[in-house]
Amino acid sequence: MADGAPNGQSSDGRRALPSVDRLLQAQATRALLATYPRDLVVDALRTSLAEARASADATIDGDALVARAESALAARTQTSLRPVINATGVILHTNLGRAPLSPATLAAMVACAAGYSSLEYDLEAGGRGSRHEHVGALLRQLTGAEAALVVNNNASSVLLALAALAAGCEVVISRGQLVEIGGGFRIPDVLRQSGAGLVEVGTTNRTYVEDYAAALTPQSALLLRVHASNFQVVGFVHSASLDELVVLAHRSNLLVVDDLGSGTLLPTERYGLAHEPMVQESIAAGADLVCFSGDKLLGGPQAGILVGRDPIIAQLRRHPLTRALRPDKATLAGLHATLLHYLRGEAEQEIPVWRMVAATREDLETRAQRLVSELASGLVNVAHTEATIGGGSLPGETLPSAALAIGSSSVSALAAKLRRWRTPIIGRIADDRLLLELRTVPPELDDEIATALRAAITTSAP
Ligand SMILES: *Cc1c(COP(=O)(O)O)cnc(C)c1O
């Protein structure tokens, strides 16, 4: 130790341990004091000393004590929420934060969050404005709806819609659509929370519009359609079309609320995928209110978006839950920038989610080949794989993809090593190989993957 703190190498390690005061004078501690408040450092040194005393390990010297205090302080202050590299091939990975954002979206969010903004200020009138106006025009233009409202996430959209439009009344829904979205979000539970009564009609696999018609009572408020986002029922199945529900509802003076989950503004079939319901289609079919997520296929910040008829949206705005579920300024700024990409016809180039959907297997294979030749390790090869959309969209649908496949005697150890990389890299294990899928990795991170792999493979060599 530079300042000459005792090294504790005596026959009795315990007695030779330096005091806290002595450790505080040490050169290595000065760097800690520059980074952390003094009492945190003192605390960490005390703990470090107490542990050394308890272990009676005579080799622990002053430097080791300070180093231990340093790792304890680092662990205590490091956030567990960190950027990661998603090499799973699941584009909207819920555990990895769903949609990455476009540069323009990020810039808009930073600009509004870094300082003050006209969040609730009308710059023309010079007085109070509404946060609910900022994205209204774009959403009307893009979806064809009369009005729009943005809340925190789509779970909030559904809760708000049911609470504002059906509390104390009945909501009619097909048994095939009483779904669990994930994370404990179950449609029957949300209905209960909203104060609306649930009327189930049809069967798990088949529900006809006549089933809805037969269930209507004077207490009925709305017909709810929920998109089966994350599962498929195949075989002997039938569900009433949105057109049929709209005709029935409007004949009976009721509303149709369509929860699309992801929803999309671009046609997914353009990319060789099945058709995911589009927001414009639901509005055109006459749904009174359509709910969808901001951070699924829309590719924007976390938000719940409600579009529909003007008086319905006005009713939602007046409901007290809207205040509790309102989005913040960064969300609204980011959503606006994301929606602009659609308006300008540049969504496929600018929005990361769509760029990943649109990438061809050939592109991905070229990238994978380059990395394989660069790494020149017999362990790393190119694999043909299938990527998925995830995030409760297009279940069972895949995109032909390419991955780095790493064969190693201890694949799970290798995967763990990559998860501990400076930017953790998350892959998946299949057939005793670690797969790093390139579809969900931005090309500019390819070199980072190569560096990490080089380090991880070298250190795992037997
Ligand atoms: C994902 C989803 C939700 C919840 O949306 P969040 O944005 O995750 O809150 C609600 N309904 C359906 C059908 C969904 O797929």
CATH number at residue 125: 3.40.640.10
Domain range for 154: 103-350
pLDDT tens digit sequence for 40-56? 999 999 999 999 888 87
- Which of 329, 350, 371 corresponds to the end of one domain? 350
Q: Which residues contact 199 (CB under 8 A, 6 or more apart)?
A: 170, 171, 172, 173, 215, 217, 220
Q: Exposed (0-12), middle (13-18) or buried (19+): which is 116, by Cβ within 10 Å?
A: exposed
pLDDT exceeds 90 at position 5: no
pLDDT at 460: 55
Residue written as tokens 């503004």? 265
* DSSP per-residue codes, 20-74: HHHHHHSHHHHHHHHHS-HHHHHHHHHHHHHHHHHHT-TT--HHHHHHHHHHHHH
Q: In a mutational test of the pocket of ligand 1, which residue from 259, 279, 394 has the highest number of ligand atoms less than 8 Å from its CB?
A: 259
User: The domain spanning residue 441 has which CATH number?
Assistant: 3.90.1150.180
* Residue 444: predicted pLDDT: 97
Last residue within a domain, chosen from 350, 378, 401: 350
Residue 425, pLDDT > 90, answer yes
Residue of 95, 151, 153, 154 with the most ligand 1 atoms within 8 Å of its CB, for mutation: 154
- Tell me which of 138-142, 226-230, 254-258, 349-353 is least confident: 226-230
* Ligand 1 site residues, Cβ closer than 6 angstroms: 153-155, 158, 181, 185, 226-227, 229, 259, 261-262, 293, 304, 392
458, with CB counted inside 10 A (0-12, 13-18, 19+), is exposed
User: pLDDT by residue (tens digit) across 209-224?
Assistant: 999 999 999 999 999 9
| Same domain membership, residue 279 and residue 165 | yes
Closest residue by Cα to atom 13, ligand 1, is 261
Residue 357 burial by Cβ neighbours in a 10 Å radius (0-12, 13-18, 19+): buried
pLDDT band at 231; cut points 50, 70, 90: confident
Residue 280 and residue 166 share a domain: yes
Average pLDDT over residues 276-283: 97
Same domain (yes/no): 250, 179 = yes
Q: Which two tokens stand for residue 257?
A: 């609320």
Would you state the pLDDT for residue 334? 98
Q: How confident is the model at residue 412 (pLDDT cuts 50, 70, 90)?
A: very high
Question: What digits encode the pLDDT tens for the residues 340-372?
Answer: 999 999 999 999 999 999 999 999 999 999 999
pLDDT of residue 462: 43
Question: Ligand 1 centre from 53 Cα, in Å?
Answer: 53
**What is the atom index within ligand 1 of the atom nearest the CA of 262?**
15
- Provide the 3-class DSSP secondary structure of residue 372: helix
Report the pLDDT value the prediction gives residue 10, as an integer from 0 to 100.
Answer: 45
Residue 51: both structure tokens together: 């542990």
Are 362 and 345 part of one and the same domain? no
Strand order in the sheet with 428-430: 90-92, 380-390, 393-407, 433-437, 428-430
Structural contact between residues 58 and 10, judged by C-beta atoms closer than 8 angstroms: yes
Is 90 exceeded by the pLDDT of residue 24? Answer: yes
Residues 65 and 123 in one domain: no
Does residue 3 belong to any structural domain of this protein?
no
